[in-house]
């Protein structure tokens, strides 16, 4: 079974080809146009997808050494995401499916982030827990099979990626600031500044209080010393990262204790964070978990994760009708 998958939910245009669950290519074209605005501009994202999609799909096929005639199904991200961005991928996938007379597969972006863990060895055995931490979501997902995923905890306000990006903005760093905080944190002392851990019941998260605490802390310190941020960048970043990571890992620990599940994965863009990766590995050793972290290219938005999810849907004959429409929000 050979699947061509397209991901266009936000600001990356991506196409991947997978054969029998093995990834043959995964191409990601990032859009540079947004950096100057400090965030993704939806209308510009849709236009860039329009420009990118044909060359990206072409190159993904070429890299996979595969022709359109060999494709058995076309998959795309149906939801959630920016509606204009989703529409470009959806229309392209539908047209191709119609032209090739091959089935269409609609994929949920957040399920795909989780199932990115199934792309390469070592793969987690079911059931497993997945902490999905991305730009728009923070979820703990209980995975019983590829088509049986349930959210058992999530953020009540900002996502973990937003916590990183908004903190970075307060430090005067460009968007997206998450990777920069990670970079500075490598040379800093994570215990130098103590930021509060919110007390949120159950398995849910909250990050808006942390953002406010950081804002007041920085205002207070720069009033005393205008060069405070500059002089302490590494320690501030390490301390912020340490707090975000402990908030995430403490809830994950709670989820594992409650469910008794010791196969534990992470997914989403923030799973590229070195503090989280190291923290999970260390916690996993202490708790005797089997931990799984996807390779970098499958952490942030990518069509590879759409392709692997579509592969499992194909095996279940879970196909979409041409009347399917993308959606900005989606429950699951």
- Which residues contact ligand ATP (rule: CB under 6 A)? 9-10, 81, 109, 113, 134-137, 161, 164-165, 176, 178-179, 182, 268-270, 272-273, 300-301
Give least dist CB 109 to ligand ATP, A. Answer: 6
Q: Choose the contact partner of 270 out of ligand ATP, Fe ion, none; CB within 5 to 8 A by kind.
A: ligand ATP
Consult the annotation and say whether 12 binds a ligand. Answer: no
The yes or no reply on residue 301 touching Fe ion (CB under 5 A) is yes
Cα 250 to Cα 229: distance, rounded to the nearest angstrom: 28
Residue indicated by tokens 């600001």: 11
DSSP 298: G
Partner that binds at residue 182, options ligand ATP, Fe ion, none, CB closer than 5 to 8 Å by kind: ligand ATP
Q: Which one of ligand ATP, Fe ion, none interacts with residue 153, CB within 5 to 8 A by kind?
A: none
Whether residue 80 is preceded by a cis peptide bond, meaning omega within 30 degrees of 0, is: yes
- Report how far residue 246's alpha carbon sits from residue 280's, in angstroms, rounded to the nearest whole number: 10
* Complex with ligand ATP: residue 78 or 273, whichever CB lies closer: 273
Specify the residue, 74 or 116, whose C-beta has the smaller distance to Fe ion: 116
Contact stretch for Fe ion (CB under 5 A) within 12-20, 134-142, 178-186, 205-213: 134-142
| 102 vs 251, beta carbon nearer ligand ATP | 251
Q: Residue 139: which region, alpha, beta or left (left: phi > 0; alpha: psi -120 to 50)?
A: beta
The answer to whether the annotation marks 133 as part of a ligand binding site is: yes
Residue 109 marked ligand-binding: yes
* Residue (of 109, 137, 164) closest to 275 by Cα position: 164
What is the rounded end-to-end Cα distance, in angstroms, of the chain?
A: 26
**Joined tokens for residue 244:** 């975000």
Q: Which does 158 bind (CB under 5 to 8 A by kind): ligand ATP, Fe ion, none?
A: none
Pick from 329, 293, 6: nearest CA to 130: 293
Phi (first) and psi of residue 139, to 5 degrees: -140, 150
Q: Is 134 in the site for Fe ion (CB under 5 A)?
A: yes
> Which one, 184 or 217, has the nearer CB to ligand ATP?
184
**Residue 178 annotated as lining a ligand binding site:** yes
165 is in an annotated binding site: yes
- In angstroms, what is the minimal distance from the CB of 110 to ligand ATP? 6
Label residue 242 exposed, middle or buried (CB < 10 Å: 0-12, 13-18, 19+): buried
Buried b (16+ CB within 10 A) or exposed e, 171-202: bebebbbbbbbbebbeebebeebebeebebee
Nearer to ligand ATP, 135 or 304 (CB): 135
> Rounded to 5 degrees, what are φ and ψ at 73?
-160, 155
Alpha-carbon distance 287 to 262, whole Å? 8
- Whether residue 135 is annotated as binding a ligand: the answer is yes
Which residues sit in the known binding site? Answer: 109, 113, 132-136, 165, 178, 182, 273, 301
Annotated binding site for substrate: 132-136, 165, 178, 182, 273
- Which residues carry a binding-site annotation for Fe cation? 109, 113, 301
């Amino acid at each position: 079974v050979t699947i061509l998958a397209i991901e266009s939910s936000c600001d990356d245009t991506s196409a991947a080809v997978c054969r029998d669950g093995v990834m043959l290519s995964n191409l990601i074209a990032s859009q540079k146009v947004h950096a100057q605005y400090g965030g993704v501009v939806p209308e510009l994202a849709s236009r860039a997808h329009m420009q990118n999609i044909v060359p990206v799909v072409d190159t993904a096929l070429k890299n996979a050494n595969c022709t359109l005639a060999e494709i058995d199904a076309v998959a795309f991200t149906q939801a959630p995401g920016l509606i204009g961005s989703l529409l470009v991928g959806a229309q392209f996938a539908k047209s191709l499916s119609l032209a090739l007379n091959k089935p269409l597969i609609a994929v949920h972006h957040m399920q795909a982030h989780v199932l990115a863990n199934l792309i390469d060895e070592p793969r987690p055995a079911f059931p497993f827990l997945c902490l999905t931490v991305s730009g728009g979501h923070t979820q703990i997902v209980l995975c019983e099979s590829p088509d049986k995923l349930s959210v058992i905890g999530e953020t009540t306000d900002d996502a973990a990626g937003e916590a990183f990006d908004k903190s970075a903005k307060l430090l005067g760093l460009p968007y997206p600031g998450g990777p920069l905080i990670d970079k500075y944190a490598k040379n800093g002392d994570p215990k130098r500044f103590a930021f509060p851990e919110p007390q949120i019941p159950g398995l849910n998260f909250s990050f808006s209080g942390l953002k406010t605490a950081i804002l007041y802390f920085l205002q207070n310190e720069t009033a005393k010393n205008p060069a405070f941020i500059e002089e302490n960048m590494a320690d501030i970043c390490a301390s912020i990262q340490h707090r975000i990571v402990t908030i995430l890992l403490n809830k994950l620990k709670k989820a594992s204790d409650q469910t008794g599940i010791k196969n534990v994965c992470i997914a989403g863009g923030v799973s590229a964070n070195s503090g989280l990766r190291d923290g999970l590995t260390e916690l996993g050793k202490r708790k005797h978990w089997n931990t799984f972290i996807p390779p970098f290219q499958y952490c942030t938005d990518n069509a590879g994760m759409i392709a692997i999810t579509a592969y499992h849907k194909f095996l279940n004959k879970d196909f979409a009708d041409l009347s399917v429409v993308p959606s900005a929000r989606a429950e699951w």
